[in-house]
């Protein structure tokens, strides 16, 4: 992957553009042309894209061809001065572009439009301060735990601000979940160009990034930004204790060999994530199985599935990726499904990006920015009404509102097409819970094609026990040579197994119990100078974008350190009343969403059926709530 920020845009001729024009995403091309020419008459109603089709237009081939022709004629005279193009549109022009893209002046879209548009080569949220500037001679330092997307970003922000920092990583390379998960066909189900830091794009070869390339992206990010020298690899944090006298954190670690090392720091950031602790099912007799057992997150590449009898337990996102390629070589595959997943029709899921499109993304200045904008903005605004309970509708486990019912009909139509008249199969693959109560999984038809294979059997009964030779469900026994657990992660077990001790000896896990919560997912009363990234209630399902949320968190944490330095304080501690007001709101709003209302089991919920995972409010509220630290929310020492 080539980092687009490494080189300035080349001059592009009209013939260059003409050669690749048929590959252009029409919405991105229109927005770029308006940006360069200022001609808003190109924002025609008949060229307005269908939001679900983005980054493509969803219009006819004839309409697309006409739009490309007109944009080419308007853009061609300006190609010889790409270096002189404005890096971003004016506020007025951006509002017009956004209103056209969203089909209406959507308030949240307009509010998020500026932060959503990131020009090539720019990092708009770089800290505008350094420690030496705001507090010369300050001894402030920071420790970050983890080197996934969130930990590396926190490290970069500290480096940019001149704050001494160390990143502690239990593994021997960066990447977090993208280093640990290496099962067959492992990939993201978020489009490549928005599953990246907004300010570091790459020449992605596929629409949805595969694990090896995502890991490579993160590794290069760490190398290119000089973060590797700040990382202590092979150290797992076991405990962190607040020292009230010194107003510092003591962080205890151990290595694979059992050696211990202690670090001291002023600011502590947990960036351990949610998807890093495999969840194994509690099934009677599982330890008696004589064959091979493996979890998707702990893959053993020495296992040969050729000609074997394979049992797959679980039908979540991971299983829908690893099961199809294994089914093609296994003798038999039995898939045990607790509940069927809703599938979203995503034809390009496993497709390469057209070479002409990649050329445009790499060479046509700011085309990439608008291509990303067309994907990112509708996604970050999302469609929370589709996942909101309407008490007057009469919500059921079928649907919870008129909007949710329409979503159910749309998703069911896709499943019906896939079943192709097989009513028994359709009954098996149709979920019995409302859409958005669980993760909606991107699919290109591969899953149902796999279920239709002669050597594949889908079982919709719970596994009751395992013996030496296979799996039981009810009175039926299925022989197996290999059992694969596609059972996900202990996402609700935040910060485990670390022991976090705050003021007056308080234990974070005892205080939380199973109901983890933190202000904006980041700060907690009684734990001064301690921040979480990808903490409680910061995941998104039908609205928002995870990496964007991480960028918001890093911005908030950096601002907190700036406040400490500017005010000459040693610590800041969230006020209990601020946390309590926030927590009540999150609990109340979660109950109004499909995932909080439905009784179906999902990783969104903890053992008591409450969601500590999902952000239940519009993404705009998260952005505005983390835009800066309000001093009145904290006590200082």
What would the DSSP string read from start to end of 567-592? HT-S-EEE-HHHHHHHHHHHHHHHTT
Q: 211-231: per-residue pLDDT in tens?
A: 999 999 999 999 999 999 999
Q: 567-618: per-residue pLDDT in tens?
A: 999 999 999 999 999 999 999 999 999 999 998 877 676 766 677 889 999 9
Tokens 């601002």 belong to residue: 559
Ranges 257-261, 370-374, 400-404, 575-579: which has the least confidence: 257-261
Average pLDDT over residues 244-269: 95
Q: What percent of the chain lies above the pLDDT cut of 90?
A: 89
Residue 386 has pLDDT above 70, yes or no: yes
Q: How far lies 173's CA from each of 267, 329, 479, in Å?
A: 23, 31, 38
Q: 267-299: per-residue pLDDT in tens?
A: 999 999 776 778 888 899 999 999 999 999 999
How many Å apart are CA 106 and CA 90, to the nearest integer? Answer: 18
Tokens 């735990």 belong to residue: 145
pLDDT for position 607: 67
Q: Which tokens in the block code for residue 292?
A: 């091979």
How many Å apart are CA 490 and CA 471, to the nearest integer? Answer: 23
pLDDT for position 5: 42
Higher pLDDT, 176 or 492: 176
Average pLDDT over residues 232-261: 95
Residue 1 has pLDDT above 50, yes or no: no
- Residue 116: band (very low, low, confident or very high) from pLDDT cuts 50, 70, 90: very high
First to last CA, the chain: 47
What does the DSSP 8-state code read for residue 135?
S
Q: Show the beta-strand stretches assigned E in 256-400.
A: 260-265, 267-270, 292-295, 309-313, 332-336, 343-345
What does the DSSP 8-state code read for residue 351?
P
- Residue 488: band (very low, low, confident or very high) from pLDDT cuts 50, 70, 90: confident
Cis check for the bond before 497: say yes or no (omega within 30 of 0).
Answer: yes
* Cα dihedral value 373, 376, 377, 378, nearest 10: 120
pLDDT for position 513: 87
Residue 2 has pLDDT above 70, yes or no: no
pLDDT for position 612: 87
Q: What is the mean pLDDT of the chain?
A: 94
């Amino acid at each position: 992957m080539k980092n687009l920020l490494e080189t300035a845009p080349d001059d592009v001729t009209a013939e260059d553009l003409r050669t690749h024009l048929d590959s252009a995403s029409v919405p991105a091309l229109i927005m770029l042309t308006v940006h360069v020419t200022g001609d808003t008459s190109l924002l025609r109603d008949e060229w307005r894209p269908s939001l679900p089709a983005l980054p493509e237009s969803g219009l006819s081939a004839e309409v697309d061809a006409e739009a490309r022709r007109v944009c080419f004629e308007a853009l061609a005279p300006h190609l010889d001065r790409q270096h002189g193009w404005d890096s971003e549109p004016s506020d007025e022009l951006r509002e017009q572009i956004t209103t056209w893209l969203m089909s209406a002046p959507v308030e949240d879209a307009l509010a998020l439009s500026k932060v959503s548009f990131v020009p090539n080569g720019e990092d708009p949220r770089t800290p505008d301060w350094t420690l030496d500037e705001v507090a010369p001679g300050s001894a402030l330092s920071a420790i970050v735990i983890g080197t996934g997307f969130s930990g590396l970003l926190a490290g970069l922000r500290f480096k940019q601000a001149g704050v001494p920092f160390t990143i502690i990583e239990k593994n021997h390379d960066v990447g977090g979940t993208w280093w640990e998960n290496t099962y067959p066909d492992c990939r993201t189900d978020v489009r490549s160009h928005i599953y990246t830091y907004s300010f570091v794009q790459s020449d992605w070869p596929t629409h949805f990034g595969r694990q090896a390339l995502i890991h490579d992206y993160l590794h290069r990010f760490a190398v290119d930004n000089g973060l590797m020298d700040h990382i202590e690899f092979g150290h797992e944090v076991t405990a962190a204790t607040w020292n009230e006298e010194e107003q510092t954190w003591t962080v205890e670690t151990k290595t694979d060999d059992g050696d211990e090392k202690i670090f001291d720091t002023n600011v502590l950031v947990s960036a351990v994530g949610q998807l890093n602790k495999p969840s194994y099912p509690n099934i009677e007799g599982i330890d008696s199985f004589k064959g091979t057992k493996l979890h998707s997150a702990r893959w053993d590449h020495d296992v040969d599935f050729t000609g074997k009898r394979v049992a797959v337990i679980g039908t979540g996102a991971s299983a829908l990726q690893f099961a199809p390629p294994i089914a093609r070589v296994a003798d038999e595959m039995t898939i045990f499904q607790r509940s069927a997943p809703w599938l979203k029709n995503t034809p390009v899921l496993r497709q390469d990006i057209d070479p002409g499109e990649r050329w445009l993304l790499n060479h046509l200045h700011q085309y990439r920015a608008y291509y990303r904008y067309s994907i990112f903005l509708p996604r970050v605004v999302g469609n929370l009404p589709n996942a909101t309970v309407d008490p007057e509708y009469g919500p059921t486990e079928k649907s919870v509102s008129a909007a949710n019912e329409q979503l159910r009909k749309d998703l069911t139509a896709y499943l019906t097409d896939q079943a192709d008249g097989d009513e028994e199969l359709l009954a098996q693959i149709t979920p019995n819970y409302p859409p958005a109560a669980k993760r909606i999984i991107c699919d290109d038809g591969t899953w149902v094609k796999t279920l239709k294979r002669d050597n594949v059997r889908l079982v919709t009964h719970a596994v009751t026990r395992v013996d030496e030779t296979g799996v039981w469900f009810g009175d039926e026994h299925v022989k197996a040579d290999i059992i694969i657990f596609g059972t996900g992660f202990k996402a609700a077990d935040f910060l485990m197994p670390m022991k976090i001790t705050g003021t007056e000896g308080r234990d974070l896990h005892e205080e939380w119990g199973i109901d983890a919560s933190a202000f904006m997912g980041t700060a907690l009363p009684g734990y001064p100078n301690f921040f979480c990234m990808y903490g409680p209630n910061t995941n998104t399902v039908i609205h928002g974008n995870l990496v964007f949320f991480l960028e918001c968190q890093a911005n908030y944490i950096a601002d907190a350190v700036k406040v400490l330095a500017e005010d000459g304080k040693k610590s800041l501690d969230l006020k209990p009343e601020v946390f309590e007001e926030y927590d009540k709101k999150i609990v109340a709003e979660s109950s109004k969403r499909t995932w909080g209302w439905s009784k179906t089991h999902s990783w969104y919920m903890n053992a008591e059926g409450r969601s500590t995972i999902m952000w239940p409010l519009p993404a705009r509220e998260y952005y505005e709530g983390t835009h800066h630290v309000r001093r009145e929310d904290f006590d200082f020492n």
